[in-house]
Structure formats: C-alpha cells, structure tokens
Chain A
Amino acid sequence: MKKKLFSVVMASLMAVSAFAACTGKDDTEFTADTAPQPDTTNAEGEEIYSQEAILDMKMFAAMAGTEINSGNKIQELIAEKTGVRLKETWLAGQQAGEAIGAIIASGDLPDLIDGGDGSVTLYENDLLVAWDPYLDMYPNLKEMYSDEEWDKFRMDDGHIYWANVFGNHYKGVDTSTGHNGEAFWIQCRVLEWAGYPEIKTLDQYFELLENYYNEFKTMPDGETALIPYTALCDGWKYYCLENPPMFLDGYPNDGCCIVNVDDPANPKVVDYNTTDTAKAYFKKLNEEWNKGMINPDFAIQTYDEYISMLSTGRVLGLCDQYWDFAYSLAGPFAQPLDSLDGKRLDEIGCDYVPLGLTIADGMTQQWHSYGDELNQSSGVAVTTSCKDPNAAFKFLSDLLEQDVHDLRFWGIEGEDYLVDENGLYYRTEEMRQLWKDDDYKKDHICSYGYCPQWLGISRDGKNAMMPSEQTSEFYAGLAAPLAACFQAYGAKTYADMVGSLECDQYPWYPLWSWSNNLGNDTDGGVAWANMGECKHEWLPKVVMSKNFDSDWDAYQKAYNDCKPEDFLKEAQDEVNARLETARANGYEG
C-alpha cells in the first residue's frame, strides 16, 4: 500500500514541479533562420552537419515497434543532412493510454511523440507545442494537407498540435498497390489448392479453410499442425474479432458503428453489434470453434504471441488490418527453413491475400477505402520538453525533402537500389531479400516510420515515394505463389483482390477518429467504455460457447445494460456535425 501511495504522491509532486517548469515559457517568435544550419562539408562538397552540431532527440511512438541499433548507417546519413539524430522508442507490453499516462506522470517527456489514443491527454495537459507558427515557416509541412484538412486537426483552442503521417498521397496521386485496411486474409496456397475459386461470403471462406485443413492437417514437415483460423483479442486490437459485422454488411470502416445512407441527406447511425449479421457471424465462428477450426488460444493470446504464431506460417486464415500483422511477417517468411528443406514460407504460398467478404452472396462491400482517409485523432507532435522546438519542426520538414525521403524508404543509391536508364529506381533480388532481413533492418535501415512521409509519386514524377508502391518493384517483390494468385484472379493490386465498391468517402468518414478520443466525461463516453468491456468479455465467450443461442441472448442483455443508446446518440450528433461543417464548405449531399 505504502509503495503504491508513495508512487502516486511522487508522481504528483513531479507533476507539480513539471507544471512549475513550463509556466515560465514565453512565446518567442521563431523564424527558419534561427534554426541550426549545416556547419561543414563532406567529401562531395555537400553542406552537412558535423558530429558536434548534430542534435540528439528522442521520440516515443505509442505503437509496438523495433528499436534500431545505434550507429545505424542511414540514420547517421540523415543526421548529417538534417542535423538531428532521432532515437525512437516504442510501446512494450502496455496499452498506449497507460504508456502515455505513465510518461506524463513521470514528467519525463521525449522531444517528439506520437501518443496514439493518448494524444488528447497530452494536449489537455498542455504538453504539446502548437504547429501553427511553424507551418508557415516550413512549406514541406504545410504541404502535407490542404487548409481544410489542417482545420480538422485543430483542437478546441484553435491550434494544431499534431499531424497524422499515414495514408497521404503526394499531390493526391494514388498509386497504391496495397490494402492497408482490414480483410479476411487467406494464405494463397489454400486458394491455389482449390483452383482459385471465387470466395465471396463468410460461409464459402470457412468451407474452403475446413477443406484445406482436412486434406493436409499439417505443414509440409508433417509435424506442425495447421490452424485454420485465428482472431486476435488483445487490448484494443480485439477489433479483429469484434468489427467484421460492420464490413460483412457492406459498410466501410467507421470503426464504432454503421452509418446507414439509404437516405443520403439523412445519414443514420446503426449499431453493428446487435444486427442479424453480427449474430450470424458469431454463430459461424462458434460452429467453427466447435469443429476445432479456430486457434484454441485466440482469446488469451497477447499480440506478441499472435505474431509469433503467424510467423510460423501455420495459420491459414485470419481477420486483421494489414499494417497490424503483415510487416512483422515479411522477415520470417523470407527465411530459408530447414523444416522446409531450405525453402522459404513465401515460396510455399504462405503469403496472405485479402478477401472482401459479405454475409450473403451478391452484396457490394467496402473493406477497401479508396482515397486518403484523414485520421485527425493522433499523429506526430512536438512536446514542451523539447529544448529547441524550431529545430524539431525543421527536422520534420527536412524529412520530407526528396533526398532524405528516398534515403528513408529506398535507402542508399547503389547499395540499396539502382537507377535504370529511364531514371526508374529498382532493386535486385539480393537487395530485396536484405531489406526483409531483421538484422540488416536494425543496422542499416532507418525509415523514421512515425514521422511525416508521403505515398504516391515522388517529386521527380517517375518514381514512387515508397518502393512498395513502385509498380515494377511491387511485382518483382512478390513471391511466385502470390504472383500466380494475383494473376489467376486478374488482380493488379491488393485492392483489386479485395474488390471493394469504388465510391466517394462521406464527409464524416472515418468516424473512429472521433470514437478513439472519447473520454469518460460524457454519458456516451461512459457507455462506450462499458460496451467495450462487455464485448471484451462476451465475444470470446460466445465464440467458445457450447450453447450459442442462450449465451448470445445473455450477451445481448449484458450489452444493453451498458446503455449503447447513449453512445449512439453522440455518434449521430458527431455525424451530423461533420456533415454540417462539410456542407458549410461546399459539400453537396
């Protein structure tokens, strides 16, 4: 007890002292000229920063990630060019909110931070530096969004405190080859074995997984058992289990509810947790569970355990968002394995392809959303602990310079990529394999992945900002079974595989950028927290149930006790408010 109390009290004392420390600051006017400048030249005569002039800064991102080694080659090159060496640290074994809370209580803030869903907490405690004066100083930053988009980042005090760095195409040119969002994923060997059938519904999907499993049972080594399907339930990532009813009904990822647009002038918020589709989906999972088709540990697995299980290639199917699992698999899938006689997992067709399923046949769906989604709920921010905010903003801006951007995502010319006679960047097979190697990543690659970045076509008008979006690189980088799968379905990109309806985004989309920041200060926020807790407990339970119908009814009763109507009312208000704003800006609909 005493220890606990002591820590709370010490935390508060530190909080008080931190408060005292920041009240003294005044708003000195900065200009771009007062930022540090290069002080020496390198062998090629370029102006660079000397080791003494390079500032060391720290960044925390409230996301799981891997720290790179100190002395990382590209990190040093970027430091010479920009004058800042950024040490990134990541979330480890905690939830984002907890980590941010602990950082605030300790008073020990990094210079830069991406607070995830703890971002608003940082703002509410006056710990972030407003971007507004710097946006005019650094056109690279300003260029990231239109004025209207920047306005969406404004907090209730009228200032901008962070910028989301993802899903932003340079000059709006969409060249994306990927599907970063959610889908039911399936290993391409399963599709290949079945002769590339059309899989459109949940039932067809599970039938195929079952058939494949019953045919093979194990990996080619004859020992490691296959797992037909798994769903992650760890913390907020339980969306993998929780939100498919929204997509299966054909709606896009608003995250917290369905927005029904049968009457486009009057969008209506609908709860996807209580629909017939929700019941049908969980009943299906329950059936599959009782047939032994679902990972027996899905309900208790942590994210790390989930990733290490996927890394073995045993799992045939899953529902998740691409970014949450696929990047972690690139390394393990590219390793030659003794158990496969020296073959790699991607060579035997373990790569996942996305399927845009619906609950019934003949429906349209929107698993893939075309165009950039603007998530204003979090992003990279500069904290009040940063001694030289001007240098920090200059650094963020420099990271968007084309040469630095190329270093971050393509690497060093001649070493990590080559340029052909047309000026197009390309990699050799050897280079591609190196970029999947975890040790090489730590020693050589430094992408500063949670700092500002671009998608789309780079400023030379030819190459893609990211190799994964360079069409030639994208195809060359696909393992043979995956390429064959794409070809069999006539798909050029992952998005084609999903086959979503191409339609304009509604002005309230995505609504999760609102629900992610709900606190406990409104009835709707309290209901939202309680609903989440209720679903965390009940959804795995109904899947593992021996008596689905009665458990489902008990779940629905417990769910209704959380007063979802309070939440839905506020969601409706938010949709209306966003629609009003858009109409005021000329949106017709």
Chain B
Amino acid sequence: MSLSESTSRRRKKRANGVEFTAKEFKRQWILIAIAAVYVIYGIIFYYLPLAGWIMAFQNYKYKTGITGSKFVGLAKFQFLFSDAKFLQVIRNTFCMGALNLIFSTVMAIVFAILLNEIKNIWGKKIVQTISYLPHFLSWIVVCGLVHDALSSTGIINELLVKFGIIDSPFQFFASKPWFWPLVVLTNLWKETGWNAIIYLAAITSIDPALYESASIDGAGRFQKMWYVTLPSIRPTIMILLLMNIGNVLNAGFELQYILGNGVIQSVSRTIDIYVLDWAINGRNMDFSLGTAAGIFKTLVALILIVAGNTIAKKTGDERLF
C-alpha cells in the first residue's frame, strides 16, 4: 500500500541520515521546489486558518471582528459543557460515528472477500460497479431516496403491509430508536462498494502460492478466507482503521440535517448541526461557540488517533507514525 510504503521510506531516510547541506540542496532543488508547493498549500489552507481559533476565547462579534472583540478566556467552553444539549449532541455524534466506523469497516471487508470469491469475471465486474455507484450520488439525493422509500406510502411500508408484517405503515422517521440504525444502513448502502475497493486491491496482491499451499494442506474455502486472506490484509485494515478513527466525530451533517425533524431531534442532532445552529442560525451569530465546539472536535480526533496508534504500536501492528 502506498501509505505503508511511504512511512517505511521515511524511516529508511532517517536511517540513512542524509545531512541537509548546501550541496545536497543544490542536488535536490527541483524536488524540494515541487514539494514546497504542497507545503505552502498546507500552510495556507490547514495552518493559517488555525489563527481563527482565537475566536473561541473571545466573545466574537461580527461587527467588531477579531481585533475588536473582547477576550473571555474559557467562558465559551464553560458554556458548552454546561449545556445539556451539547452533551446530547456529543453522545449522538460519537455513537453514530462509532457505529458507522464499525459497520462500514466490517461490511467493506466482508464484501471485498465475498466479491473476491466470485470466479466469473463479468459477474464480479458488474456487481462491483453497481455496488460503488451510490458513492457518487450527493447526500441530498440519497436522503431524498431514503425519505421516499421509508415514508408511509413508500416501498418499504407497502411491502411490510402487503406481507402482513405490520398492519399500518410504520413511521420510521418519527421513531427515535430507528434513527441511528437508519443512518448506519444509509451509509452502508452508499459507501460499502467504494470502501471495498481498497480491500479488494489488497487481496489481489496476496501471493497465490499461499492459497495453493493451503489447498494442499486441505483447507476449504472458508478456511482459506480465515487463515490466508484476512491475515494478509490485516496491515491494510489496521492503517485504514487508524485513519478513520480520527473521523469518528465527523459522523455527518447532511444526512442528519435532512432526515432529522422536530420529533427525533434529540437523537439526530450532531455537533456540526449544533455548530450551525449557534454560529449561523438566527440572532445568535456566535462564531465563538462554533469555534470552541470545533476545537473540541479536533482535540478528540487527535487523542483518538494517538491512542489508536499507541495501541497498534504495542500489539506490533502496522501504524501511522
């Protein structure tokens, strides 16, 4: 995988201990110039905006701007953590994010392995293409489809009523216990095919000799999947898990924003929607609170990634840094 390659290359470089001298600079200046573009890009778009974090410690007003707004220390954070609604949205975001991470990873792996077992090349291609197409749909379209399919006159309710499983249409979007599973299922429908591509690629690179020797040892199909395929793609799984764990708090915005409604808002609202409510909506225009919530999300993501990486290090698995 490109990622593990690049990390190993970095390690090698450090081991070689190339001194940064004028001569070395002259030799590599073209490469450095090319890299510089990306470094500058990163500084402008990822690091300069961090200056805006100042707002979290101010009572920022649009009228007075950053220079003229009053500093209030940690008051905005205090407000956040004493707001029952914020604690509620943390719970919602974390739970939906974790469920998404677990189910999307497991399903993508299972799907990739199953797809790999299809021997008919045409069948395999068709299934793969169909399964990753939804990835290219916008969330607005997907939400519209889900909303229609699950409405009282939608196909799901029609089928359930026709087969006598329920006697009157069920209100999926007015039921709190159903919201998180629906978010997970919608995510699975949209992204499983896409996520499986990377695992499929990993599976393709497994040495066929391993399967042959497993066959000679008398392994069946499922044993080969369990003892050859899975351990071989384990480094890929670990790296992707580590990268995605930082995204747990990015449980989504569009999906919850569009499918949520007044009845279920206590389980549907995520941190992003909370930020929107405070920073943009209505008379509050409290960019400070929005920024504070954003900082909180970044810190949690950082902690999760470092913790995940440390665990990976301890267990001797592939890791990010």
Contact = CB atoms under 8 A, between A and B. Distances in A.
Pair from one complex? yes
A102 B275 CA distance: 13
A181 interface: no
Given A1-B298, A9-B49, A519-B284, A296 B63 contact: no
B87 interface: no
Interface string B285-321: 1010011001001100100000000000000000000
B52 A13 contact: yes
Contacts of B136: none
B287 A98 contact: no
B281 interface: yes
Contacts of A10: 49
A96 to B, nearest CB: 9
Nearest to B300: A1
A19 B67 CA distance: 11
Using C-beta atoms within 8 Å of the partner chain, give the interface range for chain B. 35 or more
A12 B52 contact: yes
A292 interface: yes
Nearest to A541: B263
Interface in A1-56: 1-2, 4-6, 8-13, 15-16, 19-20
Contact of A1 (B60, B174, B283, B301): B301
Contact of B275 (A4, A19, A519): A4
B191 interface: no
Nearest to B68: A19
A6 to B, nearest CB: 5
A117 B284 CA distance: 12
Interface in A185-230: none
Contacts of B298: 1, 5
B86 to A, nearest CB: 14
Nearest to B246: A1
B151 A15 contact: no
Interface stretch (A121-129, A316-324, A481-489): A121-129
Given A12-B52, A16-B66, A98 B280 contact: yes
A1 B280 contact: no
B80 interface: no
A19 B281 contact: no
B215 interface: no
A581 interface: no
A517 B62 contact: no
A536 B62 contact: no
Nearest to B272: A4
A544 B171 CA distance: 10
Contacts of B116: none
A118 B282 contact: yes
A371 interface: no
B204 interface: no
Contact of A296 (B50, B52, B152, B279): B152
Interface in B233-270: 249-250, 261-266
Given A536-B263, A537-B266, A124 B283 contact: yes
Interface centre among B50, B265, B283, B287 (most CB of A within 10 A): B283
Contact of A97 (B51, B152, B262, B281): B281
A300 B171 contact: yes
A115 to B, nearest CB: 11
Interface in B158-174: 168-169, 171, 173-174
Using C-beta atoms within 8 Å of the partner chain, give the interface range for chain A. 35 or more
Contacts of B261: 233-234, 299-300
A183 interface: no
Nearest to A521: B283
B90 to A, nearest CB: 14
B89 interface: no
A62 to B, nearest CB: 11
A579 interface: no
Interface in B37-58: 45-46, 49-52, 55
B262 A537 contact: yes
Contact of A520 (B45, B51, B63, B284): B284
B181 interface: no
A20 B282 CA distance: 23
B73 interface: no
A355 interface: no
B276 interface: yes
A519 B265 contact: no
Contacts of B177: none
B49 A6 contact: yes
B65 interface: yes
Nearest to A98: B281
Contacts of A20: 65
B169 to A, nearest CB: 6
A297 interface: yes
A95 B281 contact: yes
Given A238-B262, A520-B284, A537-B265, A5 B174 contact: no
Contacts of B291: 5, 8-9
A15 B65 CA distance: 7
Interface string A84-127: 00000000000101100110110000000000011011001110
Contact of A5 (B49, B66, B249, B266): B49
B242 to A, nearest CB: 16
A125 B287 CA distance: 13
A227 to B, nearest CB: 11
Contacts of B50: 5, 9
A296 to B, nearest CB: 4
8 tightest CB-CB pairs across the interface, nearest first? Answer: A536-B262, A9-B52, A101-B280, A97-B282, A9-B49, A519-B283, A296-B152, A16-B65
5 contacts: A1-B297, A125-B285, A300-B171, A519-B283, A520-B283
Interface of B: 45-46, 49-52, 55, 60, 62-67, 147, 151-153, 168-169, 171, 173-174, 249-250, 261-266, 272, 275-276, 279-285, 287, 290-291, 294, 297-298, 301
